Structure 1
Amino acid sequence: MKTIVVLGAGYAGLRVVRELVDHKANAKIVLINKNSYHYESTQLHEVAIGSKSPNDISLNIRDVIGNQVDFIEDEVVKIDRQNKKVELKSKSTVSYDYLVTCLGFESETFGIKGADEFGLPIIDIDTALVAKKHLEETLARFQSSHDENDLHIAVCGAGFTSIEYIGELLHRLPDFVKRFNLPAEKIKIYCIEAAPKVLPMFDPKLVDYAVNYLKNQGVEFYTETPITEVKKGAVISKDKAFNANTIIWTTGVKGSHVINDSGYTQKRNRVAVQNDLSSSDDPNEFIIGDVSAVPSPDGRFYPTTGQISVAQATLAASNIIAKLNNQKTSPFTYHSLGTVCSLGPTNGVAELSFMGHWKLKGHKVAPLKRIVNDRTVFELVGFKAMMSSK
């Protein structure tokens, strides 16, 4: 019997496993993940603010996959592609006939001095909890320090995570002011972005709504402001300094370092794949999610989103089953159902592409985020697991 090894239990990894099980793939299925849980990465900003706990956004992997899949809780160190083995941190190895690599993302610092040392990324539950602890301790410290920089928060980047973090932060600020007895008028929130536009994936009118909504609550936006250095207590852009003792680093992400360590031809730890999502070097190896670069019909690469990762996973599983049955693989096609960006729990912007094309803003968008999250969990792991996560 052939062995299919799936690396990573994010959106893509769990979807692959579920599809292989549901379609009764005639193979041994092994899932490897460094944690015992799957977490909803689209809700990490809520953990980083303290609106949700890790349990609110996590699922136990063993509960989800049942007994039809072998689960190994270990960290992938390297893929020995020549010998078709995965090397693990525990020093053990796992052999495979088919490999699905979906190891997820890491924070991208673009080589900016001090970003790794002084910036707080939000890329997993551990980093979200570190950011939460730092924010709360820094705000609380103001009573003894009287340092106004303890009340300043610099958010580096203006993409999805940045804007959703800021929206959630604004929602929680009244609680922080009351809890730590803070002077609300002295709190400053900076959003610093090198590009000329905030939320570049959205229609300009929706972007204007989001920016004005946040500006009206005191957020200061600085676009076309490339960060040249991060210091303790300051973000530097050429000759301008943004003084803040909480620095959130959400400028972008790259794929897992395992990709580079395993000798792939890559850019930012992403591998350009064939149109059936297989590696150009090995037709029995599929690379999906945040570690893949998938060509779109216009010649560019699709963005790396949870929605696209789930679609890739569905096709990767189908193509592996086709190979097991000596059938042809199929190319990747994708139609986005839309995008929702929350501005706290009661507001947001959205572009939806089903039953027409919808551009929505305001309070009516807020429930959509929960619907999207619930649907994703349902598609990944089923109704029972979805309800157990609530």
Structure 2
Amino acid sequence: MAKKVVILGAGYAGLVCALELNKLTTAQEVEIILVNKHEYHQLVTQLHEPAVGAKEEKDVTLSINSILGAKKVKFVKDVVVSIDNEAKEVKLENSKLSYDYLVVALGSETEYFGIPGLKEYSFTLKSVNQANRIREHIENCLKTYSQDKKDSKLTFVVGGAGFTGIELVGELADMLPVLAQKHNVPKDKIKLINVEAAPMILPGFDEELVSVAKKSLEARGVQFIIGTPVVQVEPGIVHLKSGDTIPTETMIWTGGVRGVPVVAEAGFETEPRGRAKVDEYMRAVGHEDVWIIGDSCFVLAPNGRPYPPTAQISTQMGENAAVNIYSTMKHMKKEKFDPVLLGAVASLGRKEAIGSIGNKMKAKGWLAYRVKDASKYRYLAKIGALLKS
């Protein structure tokens, strides 16, 4: 009798897991059900572009049904409510699903670190809907400035200087002058501020490349406030630990992630930020029939630091989980999760980027931007969406 594999979430990890499992198995061996709350797969690494209007929603979303085509993966559009790992059942808003093997790939939520007002009065950038809200808000700020001349409408603050924060700042640095001209707003009135609690931007990145990125962004008007945490956000004002305040109508928070509540509520073992602990085969600790992958889990790299929540790590987790589910079904030896890190590239807007390729090569400027572009197309080819993008 076919084993039933339920995969929750069609982000990078969940979608790749479903596609790999489809390749490894026959319809007689396995029934694969993929659950996602939207009908589309989001290219989350590209969200900074629609957030400023540089690209449209259709450029960063792909129809899940189109990707799956005639494959033996059943897609269910629904929202996960709870997981009962004793009964081996998932409760959705509109139905229930039983499983033999479960894959949890529900991504993460924004971490607000208990900062008062931050959740209530800031934008986040974790979905195409949020990107659309940011774009509409920025346009509205510039459009209505001529009516009330409030300078806070022309001050844009991005909290967090990791990948998401810096890539967003780069796009904003390019697009704000264009939007200012469109709405007849003086360019010199616009302020773009990046606030980071750590002592440097892009923590963990090569220092020489970080310096290149900082100079490029500063040359386009970005003001950095580094080593200074945000301590409170109120309507129209951001408070910093230094005692300084920034009057602004736009606070975009990119400063961290935590696990989705449904994982901890199901009784899986988690670390302090609510991400699930997993074994070397990506299984939930103490559960041989549940795999937790992508941003929903917490895995330490050999250097003792957790692997970052990146697309390349998530896709490799998806592949590893698929192989290990198949190996479990066939009573074969499982594969330990040992990702191949191909490097990291951060775009800076203006067809410019910085990146490390492999362990040794550094890239900057247009070359690094092309490398980032190539990684996107490599991923689209992997999921069979190159011709559909």
Could you state the TM-score of these two structures normalised by the residue count of structure 1? 0.96
| 1:129 paired to 2:132 | yes
1:331 aligned residue (336, 354, 363): 336
SS at match of 1:333: coil
User: Counterpart in 2 of 1:312?
Assistant: 317
> Once superposed, which parts of structure 1, at least 4 consecutive aligned residues long, lie more than 3 Å away?
none
Letter in 2 for 1:7: L
Letter in 1 for 2:122: G
User: Counterpart in 1 of 2:191?
Assistant: 188
1:328: Cα distance to partner? Answer: 2.2
Letter in 2 for 1:190: I
User: Counterpart in 2 of 1:237?
Assistant: 240
Cα pair distance change 1:38/1:151, threshold 3 Å:
same
Letter in 2 for 1:386: L
1:174: Cα distance to partner? Answer: 2.8
SS at match of 1:52: coil
Contact 2:268/2:285 (CA < 8 Å) preserved in 1?
no
User: Counterpart in 2 of 1:42?
Assistant: 45
1:264: Cα distance to partner? Answer: 2.3
1:206: Cα distance to partner? Answer: 0.5
Mapping of residues 110-149 of structure 1, within 5 Å: 110-149=113-152
Cα pair distance change 1:299/1:149, threshold 3 Å:
closer
Contact 2:104/2:292 (CA < 8 Å) preserved in 1?
yes
User: Counterpart in 1 of 2:388?
Assistant: 388
Distance across 2 between alignment mates of 1:131 and 1:224: 26
1:292 aligned residue (293, 297, 310): 297
Q: Percent identity?
A: 38
Q: How many residues align?
A: 383
Distance across 2 between alignment mates of 1:89 and 1:223: 43
1:100: Cα distance to partner? Answer: 0.8
1:83 aligned residue (87, 93, 106): 87
1:261: Cα distance to partner? Answer: 2.6
CA RMSD of aligned residues (A): 1.2
Letter in 1 for 2:44: S
Distance across 1 between alignment mates of 2:181 and 2:301: 50
User: Counterpart in 2 of 1:21?
Assistant: 22
1:266: Cα distance to partner? Answer: 1.5
Query: Residues 288-335 of structure 1: CA distance to partner in whole angstroms, max 9, x if unpaired?
Result: 100111232334322221101111111110011011111121211122
Distance across 1 between alignment mates of 2:167 and 2:307: 22
Distance across 2 between alignment mates of 1:93 and 1:341: 41
| Structure 1: tracts of 5 or more residues without a match | none
Query: Residues 168-189 of structure 1: CA distance to partner in whole angstroms, max 9, x if unpaired?
Result: 1111123201111011011101
Distance across 2 between alignment mates of 1:127 and 1:263: 30
Contact 1:167/1:214 (CA < 8 Å) preserved in 2?
yes
Distance across 2 between alignment mates of 1:300 and 1:366: 27
Contact 2:268/2:284 (CA < 8 Å) preserved in 1?
no
Distance across 1 between alignment mates of 2:45 and 2:204: 16
1:364: Cα distance to partner? Answer: 2.1
2:265 aligned residue (225, 250, 261): 261
Letter in 2 for 1:192: V
1:263: Cα distance to partner? Answer: 2.6
User: Counterpart in 1 of 2:200?
Assistant: 197
Letter in 2 for 1:336: L
Query: Residues 5-31 of structure 1: CA distance to partner in whole angstroms, max 9, x if unpaired?
Result: 101001111111111111125210000
Distance across 2 between alignment mates of 1:83 and 1:100: 15
SS at match of 1:388: coil
SS at match of 2:333: coil
Cα pair distance change 1:300/1:156, threshold 3 Å:
closer
Letter in 2 for 1:326: H
Mapping of residues 48-63 of structure 1, within 5 Å: 48-63=51-66
Contact 1:345/1:366 (CA < 8 Å) preserved in 2?
no
